[in-house]
Structure 1
Amino acid sequence: MKKITVIVFVLFIGIITSTAQVTVSPGLRGGLNLSTLTNIDDNRSKADFYIGGLVNIKFNKYFSLQPEITYSRQGDEGREFFGNGYSDRYVNYELNYLTLGAVAKFNIGGKGFHILGGPSFDLKISDNYINSNPENFDLAIVGGVGYTLPNGLTFEARLKQGLIDIYGYDGVDNDNGYRYNDFILNQVFQIGISYTFKVK
């Protein structure tokens, strides 16, 4: 009985100690989006922005989990389409999302430099497409690197790869005999900064 009591006590102390090391810091993030859509001929990357909030949950000096909510302006520059074909004029095609994500951050050697990765669920809130109707949501994988200063300021570069065909194509149009095997996916390169507030 004494041994069980000692074991329970040690486990209890361990839990309390580990919990005491967890810090939760809210913050803000924003930066530049360079977005495009894959497998579209003659399109270009589109420059826009993202902005949002985060909560950094730091378990120890090596690992933290960061839930995020972000307004992200994406899409691409594509050639304008008319009934008789494409024009030579490029226009901005906008796909604007509210993204809900969570990235795991691994601090190399417990220092400021880190690698990160995680999922993102994106809800479309607007677009300017006329001849098509993009899907209302996307799933994406995020990966990147960053560096955090002691004052809470972080510089990051990320690649965000969509996983869902934004047009929901099934691959074959049997009525017209047209086959489209290439998925059209969101792809975004992000460069930005974030700042976490110290909570006492």
Structure 2
Amino acid sequence: MKKLFLAAAIAVFGLSNAQTFGLKAGANVSSVSNSDDSKAKFGFYGGAFVNVPLSASFNIQPEVLYSGKGVKADGSADTTLSLDYISVPVMFQYKATPQFYLEAGPEFSFLISSKLKSGGHSLDVKDGFNGFDFGVGLGIGYDFTSNFGANIRYVAGVTDIVKNNNGDSSKNGVFQFGLTYKFAK
């Protein structure tokens, strides 16, 4: 057991010297499948990441993000469903060039708030939604400098977000457009 802890400590120390920490933030354009008469809702996402090189061309990038998702009603009433999550994407990145990368990976999201706003009134509807959402993300990114970059990602929800949905699955879908900042080593 001591050898296992020693091996893990050496691996963590080795990775800590090679990894890069950073921040990212941007805009979400989200929707919910099976939402009749709805349109996209604009929101915000932001958080931190660590980028760990696996080889010259491949990295893994776990992230912790606040992500505002939801949907707006497409009618005369100003009705908005806001779903706030803490999301943990784990993206596997392929560096096509030193600056340009493609990424894909799972996203694990935990619901922290759910509000339905209509006609100046706000109602907490968290009890009607599942506390966990799983999605798959695909994206591209470009590093302008060693510190600053931009990325675009789409996360397709896999799990039903509504409790007791009677077979009509409702899933999150979100486009993310953002900027990244990596701290210098």
Normalised by the length of structure 2, the TM-score is 0.81
Q: Which moved more, 1:124-133 or 1:42-51?
A: 124-133
Structure exhibiting the larger radius of gyration computed from Cα positions: 1
Aligned residue number for residue 90 of structure 1: 78
In the alignment, structure 1 residue 114 sits paired with structure 2 residue 96: no
Partner Cα distance (2:85, 2:110) in 1? 5
Alignment of 1:34-113 (within 5 A): 34-78=29-73, 88-108=76-96, 110-113=97-100
Question: 1:151 offset after TM fit, Å?
Answer: 2.2
Which aligned segments of 4 or more residues in structure 1 are displaced greater than 3 angstroms?
A: 129-132, 168-171
Partner Cα distance (1:148, 1:191) in 2? 14
Partner Cα distance (1:150, 1:59) in 2? 21
Residues matched between the structures, number: 164
Secondary structure at the aligned position of 1:60 is classed as coil
Alignment of 1:1-200 (within 5 A): 23-78=18-73, 88-108=76-96, 110-129=97-116, 130=123, 133-169=128-164, 171=166, 181-199=167-185
Ranges in structure 2 where 5+ consecutive residues have no aligned partner: 1-13, 117-122
The alignment yields a C-alpha RMSD, in angstroms, of 2.1
Letter in 1 for 2:114: D
Secondary structure at the aligned position of 1:89 is classed as coil
Ranges in structure 1 where 5+ consecutive residues have no aligned partner: 1-18, 80-86, 172-180
**Residue pair 2:101, 2:142 contacting (<8 A) in 1 also:** yes
**Residue pair 1:169, 1:183 contacting (<8 A) in 2 also:** no
Normalised by the length of structure 1, the TM-score is 0.75
Partner Cα distance (1:170, 1:161) in 2? 19
Partner Cα distance (1:94, 1:50) in 2? 13
Letter in 2 for 1:59: L
